[in-house]
Amino acid sequence: MKEDAIEFLVPAEDHNQRVDKIVTSYLKEYSRVIIKDWIEAGNILVDNHTVKPKTKVLEGQQIIVHPVLKERTEVNPQKMNLQIVFEDNDLIIVDKPHGLVVHPGHGHHESTLQNGLLYHHPELKILPRAGLVHRLDKDTSGLLIVAKNSNSYNALNTALQSRLIKREYRAICIGEMTSGGTIDVNLSRDPNNRIKYKVSNFGKSSVTHYRVLKKFQGHTLIGLRLETGRTHQIRIHMSHIRHAILGDPLYGQRLMIPKGASENLKKILRSFKRQALHACQLTFQHPSTAELTSFSSKLPEDMESIIKELSGNELDADTINNLKYPEIKT
């Protein structure tokens, strides 16, 4: 039994790459062996033509995937207290708390966001990753888009690949930053650590824009906007410019305790064991109405508490959450 087709265009960074590698990267819940079988069975087409697994495709070509339902990894629905920001017939906007894994993987087969989504809306079982259009790391909090039907899934994935979904983040970084900027580097998997990625002369392009929102002694609150969405992108980028995200267990740097810090601030900083990163805003065209829609999420309490302490309690929650990403005039 075949599911609804999944369609997407080959992005610039995958130009002249093998079709089996591209589809495997795009549909992470299916193994490369399964993808190869689909290609050989004619269930994956490029510009409506059958291809071989090793066929190299070009930027802008259309890939159509007809997933076979029996091959899908079984994910069980689980009742979960999801924070639904918005829902209609086409999509769901979820505010993910830190500590929640987005979809099942090695060591995380249950109690993921995907399990909760399948309980909330069982019809999502026909879509890849239960309709999740993108993902966040386990210990990153914030907004995620979930498509509720194949038309929305295809439209939103195309928008994501075309960089038409604006994703904005907030992060607390170590060090006192003087200005914003843009980080444009290639990223590849670290051969010495399979769970890490690194800046490389090869790999895939990655672009992050960042702006200083508030400076404190020894730390900076920044706003970030993504052009690409590589694994661990923001975390690697900030570490690359020597302003790692506070608490990052993988790409972090030595903890910095500000001179004259209160005992409470010292305690909070030392006990913060996850990256201080939050996906605070999503802006995109609605897949059915084409209306420009925007959703926002306040910072989680643990990040708010650190910012309040760093400011000497001069900033309250409303002030912190109302800090705007500065537009650069050209």
Token pair listed for 240 = 């690359």
Is the CB of residue 71 less than 8 Å from the CB of residue 3? no
From the list 14, 137, 139, 248, the catalytic residue is 137
Rounded CA gap, 98 and 175, in Å?
A: 23
**Contacts by 176-181, CB closer than 8 A, 24 or more apart:** 176/215, 176/216, 176/217, 176/218, 176/219, 176/220, 177/212, 177/215, 177/220, 177/222, 177/243, 178/212, 179/212, 180/209, 180/210, 180/211, 180/212, 180/222, 180/326, 180/328, 181/209, 181/210, 181/241
Concatenating the DSSP letter of every residue in 166-232 gives EEEEEEEEES-----EEEEEEEEE-TT-TT-EEEESSSEEEEEEEEEEEEETTEEEEEEEESS--TT
Pairing of strands 141-147, 166-174: unpaired
Tokens of residue 300, six digits: 């989680």
The CA distance from 308 to 283, in Å, is 28
Distance of CA 249 to the CA centre of its chain: 18
Report the alpha-carbon distance of residue 112 to residue 123 in Å, rounded.
Answer: 17
Check if 137 is active-site.
yes
Catalytic residue numbers, as ranges: 137
